[in-house]
Homo-oligomer: A and B are copies of this chain.
Amino acid sequence: MDHKVVGRSIQRKDGVKKVTGNAIFGADIDLPGQLYGAVCRSPYPHAKIKAVHKKKALELPGVYVVLTGAECDKLFGQYIEDQPVIAREKVRYQGEPVALVAADNFLTAQEAASLIEVEYEPLPVIDSVEDALKNEILLHEDWSKYNIVGDCHPVKSTNIGDIFTLSKGDVNKGFMESDLIVESEFSCSMLQHTTIETHCATAYVNKSTREITVYSPAQSPFAIRSVLARSFGVPLENVRVICTEIGGAFGSKYEAKAEPLAIALAMFTNGRPVKIQFSREEEFLASVARGPVKFKIKTGVKNDGTLLAQDVTIYWDTGAYVTTGPRINYNAGFAACGPYKIPNAKVESFCVVTNKSIATAYRGFGVPEVVCAHEHQMDLIAKKLGIDPLEIRLKNILTDGDLSVTGETMQDIAVKECLEAAAKNVEWYNKPLRWISSDGKFCGKGIACFCKLTGTPSNTSVILRLNENGSLTILDASREMGQGVTTVLPQIAAEALGMDVEKISVSPVDTAFSPYDKTTTSSRSTFHGGNAVLLAAEEVKKQLLALAAKYFKVSLAQMEYVEGNIRCKNDLTKSIHINEIGKSGILREQPPIIGVGAYSTVDLFDKPDPTTHQSKRPTVMWMFGAQAAIVEVDPKEGHIQVKTIGAAHDVGYAINPLGCLQQIEGSIIMGIGHALTEEMIYKNGDLKNGNMLDYKVPTFMDSDVDIHISLVEKNHKEGPFGAKGLGEPGVAATAAAIVNAINTACETNFNAIPIKPENIIFKEEV
Chain A interface residues (CB < 8 Å from chain B): 16-17, 20-22, 28-32, 206, 208-209, 211, 222, 226, 229, 235-237, 271, 457-461, 463, 465, 467-469, 471, 473, 475, 505, 507-508, 510, 512-516, 543, 589-596, 598-602
Copies of this chain, count: 2
- Contact among B22, B206, B514 for A271, CB-based, below 8 A: B22
Shortest beta-carbon distance, A90 to chain B, in Å?
33
How far apart are the CA atoms of A4 and B390 in the complex, in Å? 71
Known: A236-B468, A237-B467, A593-B598. 13 other contacts (CB 8 A): A17-B208, A20-B206, A20-B208, A22-B209, A22-B271, A235-B471, A236-B471, A237-B469, A237-B473, A237-B505, A458-B589, A475-B513, A515-B594
A467 contacts which chain B residues (CB < 8 A)? 236-237, 516
A593 contacts which chain B residues (CB < 8 A)? 598
How far apart are the CA atoms of A55 and B661 in the complex, in Å? 54
Known: A473-B237, A513-B507, A513-B513. A594 touches B463 (CB 8 A): yes
Shortest beta-carbon distance, A522 to chain B, in Å?
14
Shortest beta-carbon distance, A524 to chain B, in Å?
13
A460 contacts which chain B residues (CB < 8 A)? 592
How far apart are the CA atoms of A207 and B31 in the complex, in Å? 23
| Cβ–Cβ contact A598 & B589, under 8 A | no
- Contact among B206, B222, B458 for A468, CB-based, below 8 A: B222
25 chain-A/chain-B pairs, Cβ below 8 angstroms: A16-B208, A17-B211, A20-B206, A21-B271, A22-B206, A28-B32, A236-B467, A236-B471, A237-B467, A237-B471, A237-B505, A459-B592, A463-B463, A463-B594, A468-B516, A473-B512, A507-B513, A508-B512, A508-B513, A515-B592, A589-B600, A589-B602, A590-B600, A595-B596, A596-B596
| Cβ–Cβ contact B17 & A226, under 8 A | no
Across the interface, name the chain B residue whose C-beta is closest to A27.
B32
| Cβ–Cβ contact A17 & B594, under 8 A | no
- Which has the most chain B C-beta neighbours within 10 Å: A32, A229, A507, A594? A594
Shortest beta-carbon distance, A518 to chain B, in Å?
8
- Which has the most chain B C-beta neighbours within 10 Å: A222, A236, A592, A600? A592
Across the interface, name the chain B residue whose C-beta is closest to A459.
B589
- Contact among B32, B458, B465 for A29, CB-based, below 8 A: B32
Shortest beta-carbon distance, A456 to chain B, in Å?
9
How far apart are the CA atoms of A736 and B602 in the complex, in Å? 64
A208 contacts which chain B residues (CB < 8 A)? 16-17, 20, 22
Shortest beta-carbon distance, A546 to chain B, in Å?
11
- Contact among B31, B32, B461, B591 for A591, CB-based, below 8 A: B461
A271 contacts which chain B residues (CB < 8 A)? 21-22
How far apart are the CA atoms of A23 and B460 in the complex, in Å? 31
Across the interface, name the chain B residue whose C-beta is closest to A475.
B513
How far apart are the CA atoms of A591 and B458 in the complex, in Å? 9
How far apart are the CA atoms of A460 and B593 in the complex, in Å? 10
A598 contacts which chain B residues (CB < 8 A)? 543, 591-594
How far apart are the CA atoms of A599 and B543 in the complex, in Å? 12
A595 contacts which chain B residues (CB < 8 A)? 596
| Cβ–Cβ contact A30 & B28, under 8 A | no
Known: A32-B29, A600-B590. A469 touches B512 (CB 8 A): no
